[in-house]
Each structure stands twice: as structure tokens, then as C-alpha cells.
Structure 1
Amino acid sequence: MNKENLIDLLINGTKLYTIENIIFNFSITVILAFFIYLVYKKTNSSVVYSQNFNLTIVMIALISSLVMMLIGNNLAISLGMVGALSIVRFRAAIKEPRDIAFLFWAIAIGLASGSGAFLIAIIGSIIIAIVLFLFSKTAYSSYSYLLIIKGNNLKCECIQDVLRNYKIPNKMCMKNTSLDSTELTYEMTLKQVNKDNLIEHFFTIKDITEVHIVSYNGEVSG
């Protein structure tokens, strides 16, 4: 395939699926799927990063491309595909709305590459990635950590005094109390504060038994 044919394929797409065109379609899909893979990994703000889910995104892009090439302009195959998908039940629960968006992105890449709309897939992916990187820089700049403190009959005033002493912006988002123990959860920003020093300071309060500082992605359940 010479340079002129490559440019023509990128602009006009593939009309007939020869072995060469099929390989080219899958090659573009693999490149874009790997691009999505890297974007997901770099912009992931969750405490736990799922390698399996990220690999699933790549697989979905490739499968979508294959499905699109199979369907083409054939109405009978497209109806059969809809019928086959309608009886499939997906049991996996996706907790992060962001992950659903990445799945749709992978499907869109597969459909675009499978139908030969390479420029749309490439330009669209670049724009989406730029938007994601811009928002990932500012999304959780206000409260980026969770402070979880456990102890016996804790008083909120003692915790607030320590946080004020370190000039840490904070907001209490949860308090669990039983007969002999208390658990407090705070959202807070740590910019130039040493976490070890902060934890040691909390342990000087005699009623505190546990202190945890956890990276925070913007949501608290409970």
C-alpha cells in the first residue's frame, strides 16, 4: 500500500473489504484502542485502578470494529445482530459513570473504524482526550484526601483544632458512633503538609486509636 492509497483510505474509508482493508481497519482500531487505554490509565482518579477493565475497553473496540465490518450495508445481518444482542444479559456492575463513558468511546471507535470513518475516529478521540486531561487537572483540586479517624468517645472539636493548626481546608462528611467508639471522616486538601507529621499529631490525642489518610476521588458512600 503506497502513500496515496493510505491517504485515500483514511479520508474516504473502505468500500470493499479485501484482506488488505480488513487488516488496515483492525490496525487503526488497535492504535486508537491503545490510545484510549493510555488515556484511561493516565486520567484514572479512583483509589483502585482496574487493569482488567482497561483491557476490556481495548477488546470492545476490536469487537465493535469486527461487528461493523460484518454488518456493512446488509440489513438482514444487522437485524440478526440486534436480535442476538437482545438476548445477552450483562451481569457486571459498573460503579463509575466515567467507566461507562469509556466503554461508549471504545464502541464508537470500533464502529467508526469498522465502517471506514477513520478521520472521524482519530479527530474525535483526540478531542475527547484533550477534554479529559483538562478536566482531570481541575476535577478534585478542592478536596483530594479523606481523613478517617477512629477512637473512643472522640470529640469533633479536638480534630478541628489540629486541622486548623495545620491550616488544612476541611469538611466533615461522616460521623459513625457506637456505645464505646466513634469514627469521623473528613474531606481535606493537603498541599504542603507532611502526612506523617499530621498523623503523629493526631496520635497525641489519647482517645484516638486509628488514623487513615486515603486518596479521594470525589465520592463518599455510607
Structure 2
Amino acid sequence: MDQFIDQLSLSFEDTFSPTQYIAYILLCAGLLFLLAVVYRRFGQSISNRAQLSKVLMIVGLTTFIIISIVKSSLALSLGLVGALSIVRFRTAIKEPEELGYFFMAIAIGLGMGANQLFPTLIGFIILMLIVIIQHKGGDSSITQNILVDMPCEADQRAVVIKNITDAISANTRQLDVKRIKHGENNIAINYLVKVKSFDNLNSINEKLVAIHSKVDVTFIDNSL
């Protein structure tokens, strides 16, 4: 019975080393920073990669802190299971690539929090090499925000939206409608698209002008 109680108690006094903790959390932050750089440079996600890369570092470091705390106590480990059972994500992850990078960040936090330096480093290096090799072997793409403002009568909105979307989607590899705003005599749509080359952007502009000569088209770079 006494042995079981001892297992439930904290043991930071015997095992915790401030110097080692600081060294490992700095190493963890360094690996997460490299992961964020790789994601921004080689990621294919159509979402804002700069914003998500910041979240990766927060997730990884939070995982590190949690694991470094609960690893020395069975009671805290059981409490963590209960706490995580009530967590709910309000925003769904839309792209599998984003989920993969989140798992990488969590794995780094788990490994470094458990003081598994070499397995974490080896796994991280192999994963980054795989990501870079896959990127080099694939086609490069351009991510753009397209803002379209076109004159439109109220009874023609549905037809105009379809024509605009068809003209853009025919020249893109991936398309996401971000915002649609209806004006009194116009319609404004914001698309986030991924195209193979700048020639596709020229084709999109020409097709939109063909729909209406007074269309206003704005291309905004979203590569970061």
C-alpha cells in the first residue's frame, strides 16, 4: 500500500533538474522553429501557412510542458486523460497536411518532454528529409488571393457567381471561396486559389473580363 501511494506522489525533488529542463525546452523550441520553417517553405496547404506555423510552435511547447510534468506522477497522468476527454476543437482541420504537421509538433514535444533526445532528433531529421524530397519531386505551385468585384443586377447574382467560379476553377489546382459580399449593383467575391503558373492567372483575368468588361480583379500573393 505504501509503495502504491509513493507511485502516486510527485517526485520532482529527486528527479527535476532546472538546467536539464531549460536545455531540453530550448532544444524543443529549436526543432519546432525548424519545423515551422519547413512548413512555410515546403507546405502545400492553401491556408495561411505563416499563421499556422506559429500555432505549431505553441502546440509543441505545450505538449513538452505537459509531458515533463506528468511523466513523474501516475496521478497526474490519469488526471491528464480525464482533462483531455473534455477538450473539444471548435475549428475543424480541413487539410490532411495540416494534421500531419500538428502530429509532428506533438511528437517533438512528447519526445523532448520525455527526455528522448536522440530518437526525437533522428525521427525529426528523417521526417524533414521526406518532406523536402516529396516537395522537390512534385510540381511547384502559386497561392493567390483573388478579389473579384463585378457589376451585377440582383436577379442575376446566382448566374454571375457561377460564371465567375467556373472561369476561375478551370485554371486552378485548388479553389476556396473565402467571402461573398452583395452590393446594390455589384457583387464582390474573395477566392483563395492555388495555380500551377502565372499563365493561369492571366487566363483567369481574361475569362473574367470576357464575362464583364468592367470587372475589377485584384491578385494578392499568399505564399507566406
TM-score when scaled to structure 1?
A: 0.62
Structure 1 gaps of 5+ residues are 1-14, 152-176, 216-222
- Please say if 1:178 is aligned against 2:159: yes
Q: What pairs with 1:13-162 in structure 2 (closer than 5 Å)?
A: 16-140=15-139
Identity across matched positions, percent: 26
Specify the code of the residue in structure 1 equivalent to 2:67.
Answer: M
- Give how far 1:110 is off: 0.6
Contact 1:61–1:110 under 8 Å retained in 2: yes
Residues 48, 119 of structure 1: alpha-carbon distance in 2 compared, 3 angstrom cutoff: same
More helix by share: 2
Number of aligned pairs?
178
Residues 122, 17 of structure 1: alpha-carbon distance in 2 compared, 3 angstrom cutoff: same
Q: What secondary structure does 1:93 align onto?
A: coil
Specify the code of the residue in structure 1 equivalent to 2:159.
Answer: S
Residues 137, 208 of structure 1: alpha-carbon distance in 2 compared, 3 angstrom cutoff: farther
Inter-partner Cα distance in structure 1 for 2:205 and 2:88: 51
Q: Deviations over 1:156-179 (max 9, x none)?
A: xxxxxxxxxxxxxxxxxxxxx839
Inter-partner Cα distance in structure 2 for 1:182 and 1:109: 46
Q: What secondary structure does 1:182 align onto?
A: helix
Contact 1:61–1:107 under 8 Å retained in 2: yes
- Give how far 1:112 is off: 0.4
Contact 1:68–1:115 under 8 Å retained in 2: yes
Inter-partner Cα distance in structure 1 for 2:159 and 2:200: 31
Q: What secondary structure does 1:46 align onto?
A: coil
- Give how far 1:48 is off: 4.0
Specify the code of the residue in structure 1 equivalent to 2:112.
Answer: S
Residues 73, 53 of structure 1: alpha-carbon distance in 2 compared, 3 angstrom cutoff: same
Inter-partner Cα distance in structure 1 for 2:37 and 2:161: 47
Specify the code of the residue in structure 1 equivalent to 2:54.
Answer: L
